[in-house]
């Protein structure tokens, strides 16, 4: 008898629409394969809904704040019901770009240099502070958003304007801009699932490039790397997955420049939409979408 699945999606983050799409795709595929499935938003009635439905497993399809930063994981832990993807601590670490960078650096994983910017404290002489440790252009990004939400490439002329745009965040990262090839690596438990290269028509693989079909980002699979470099990038992704303590499926984002792989971040709950990369990588590896979802569910059962 197939298990009852509760798919959590939506939420309050800026990635709400992507989460809804992920939840929709997952639920549709599970229902088609005769699972009993219900979708649910993480609102004030969440615990009541969980206790009423009594799912065997919760598929966490939430993205962004509240959904993949350890918060919802803490709530789910209290219910003692298996849930998918990483646990409380790993989710919290991966979502915090500064903390995860410190772990990368500790374990000798190359990542772009950065400084943390705190509003109403670091605004004075910000250009001089950037030039002291980094060089223009730079990337500015929130500490705890996903899907490249509010990520900008900045030069001396527009840095202050873009910092004002991000005034909704108290702290952000200012990171050296690494040009070069955009390569993503998917990890499935302790297995290297595969790689994919992206060639966005835009300046970089931002929110529009990820989710707007009209952006026409080119997906290249297999990636044109020699065996040594392919092993190197997948080894790094597996190491990051392990050192942070991730479970289930993760996707690591890299830049490849002058023979070096720079790990930008690790995503503990990669998207499962029609444009998402992990299902595409899995399909190339001979794993269908439903088999990928079933593996994620099985992994949740084993690891909880």
pLDDT per residue, tens digit, the chain (304 aa), is 678 999 999 988 888 888 999 999 999 999 999 999 999 998 888 999 999 999 999 999 999 888 888 899 999 998 889 999 999 999 999 999 999 999 999 999 999 999 888 765 656 677 888 888 898 899 988 887 654 567 888 888 888 777 776 667 778 888 999 999 999 999 999 999 999 999 877 555 444 444 445 556 889 999 999 999 999 999 999 999 999 999 999 999 999 999 999 999 999 999 998 778 999 999 999 999 999 999 999 999 876 6
Our answer to whether residue 253 is catalytic in this structure is: yes
State yes or no: is 251 an active-site residue: yes
pLDDT (0 to 100) of residue 66: 87
Domains 4-84 and 114-176 agree in fold = no
Q: Pick the catalytic residue from 83, 169, 207, 211.
A: 211
What 3 state SS string does the chain have?
CCCEEEEECCCCCCCHHHHHHHHHHHHHHHHHCCCEEEEECCCCCHHHHHHHHCCCEEEECCCCCCCCCCHHHHHHHHHCCCECCCCHHHHHHHHCHHHHHHHHHHCCCCCCCEEEEECCCCCCCHHHHHHHHCCCCEEEEECCCCCCCCCEEECCCCHHHHHHHCCCCCEEEEEECCCCEEEEEEEECCEEEEEEEEECCCCCCCHHHHHCHHHCCEEECCCCCCHHHHHHHHHHHHHHHHHHCCCCEEEEEEEEECCEEEEEEEECCCCCCCCCHHHHHHHHCCCCHHHHHHHHHHHHHHHC
**13, 15, 152, 252: the active-site residue:** 15
Residues ≥6 apart with Cβ < 8 Å to 276 = 22, 270
Write the CB contacts of 69 (distance below 8 Å, at least 6 apart in sequence): 91, 92, 95, 96, 144
Q: Is CATH 3.40.50.20 the classification given to domain 4-84?
A: yes
d(CA 86, CA 303): 10
| Known active-site residue 125 | no
Q: pLDDT at position 161, please?
A: 78
CA gyration radius for the chain?
19
Domain ranges across the chain: 4-84, 93-110+179-303, 114-176
Question: Which pLDDT does position 303 carry in this prediction?
Answer: 66
Q: Which of 13, 144, 252, 267 is catalytic?
A: 267
Q: What are phi and psi of 257, to 5 degrees?
A: -145, 125
Q: Single out the catalytic residue among 147, 148, 252, 276.
A: 147
Out of 21, 68, 175, 265, the active site residue is 265
- What does the pLDDT read at residue 283? 96
Strand pairing partners for 186? 194, 251
pLDDT at 205 (0 to 100): 45
Instruction: Output the six-digit token pair for 235.
Output: 């080894």
Instruction: Determine the pLDDT at residue 59.
Output: 96
Cβ contact 64:14 at 8 Å? yes
Does the reported pTM lie above 0.85?
yes
Topology of the domain comprising 114-176: Dna Ligase; domain 1 (3.30.1490)
146 as an active site residue: the answer is no
Identified catalytic residue from 253, 262, 276, 299 = 253
pLDDT at 74: 93
15 annotated active-site: yes
CATH 3.40.50.300 fits 93-110+179-303, yes or no: no
What's the CA dihedral at 102, 105, 141, 259 to 10 degrees?
-170
């Amino acid at each position: 008898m197939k298990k009852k699945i509760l798919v959590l999606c939506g939420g309050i983050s800026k990635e709400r629409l992507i989460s809804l799409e992920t939840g929709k795709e997952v639920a549709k595929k599970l229902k088609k394969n005769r699972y009993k499935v219900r979708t649910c938003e993480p609102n004030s009635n969440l615990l009541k809904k969980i206790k009423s439905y009594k799912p065997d497993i919760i598929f966490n399809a939430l993205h962004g704040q509240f959904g993949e930063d350890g918060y919802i994981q803490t709530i789910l832990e209290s219910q003692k019901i298996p849930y998918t993807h990483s646990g409380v601590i790993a989710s919290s670490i991966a979502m915090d770009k500064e903390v995860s960078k410190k772990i990368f650096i500790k374990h000798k994983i190359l990542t772009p240099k950065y400084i943390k910017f705190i509003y109403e404290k670091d605004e004075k002489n910000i250009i001089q502070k950037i030039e002291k440790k980094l060089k223009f252009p730079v990337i500015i990004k929130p500490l705890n958003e996903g899907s490249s939400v509010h990520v900008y490439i900045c030069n001396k002329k527009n840095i202050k304007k873009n910092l004002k745009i991000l005034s909704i965040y108290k702290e952000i990262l200012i990171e050296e801009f690494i040009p070069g090839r955009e390569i993503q690596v998917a990890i499935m438990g302790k297995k290297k699932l595969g790689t994919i290269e992206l060639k966005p028509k835009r300046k970089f693989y931002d929110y529009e490039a990820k989710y707007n079909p009209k952006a026409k980002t080119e997906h290249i699979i297999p990636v044109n790397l020699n065996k040594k470099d392919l092993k190197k990038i997948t080894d790094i992704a597996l190491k990051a997955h392990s050192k942070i303590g991730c479970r289930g499926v993760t996707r690591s984002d890299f830049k490849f420049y002058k023979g070096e792989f720079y790990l930008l971040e690790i995503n503990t709950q990669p998207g499962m939409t029609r444009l998402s990369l992990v299902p595409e990588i899995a399909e190339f590896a001979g794993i269908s979408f439903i088999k990928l979802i079933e593996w994620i569910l099985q992994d949740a059962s084993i690891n909880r």
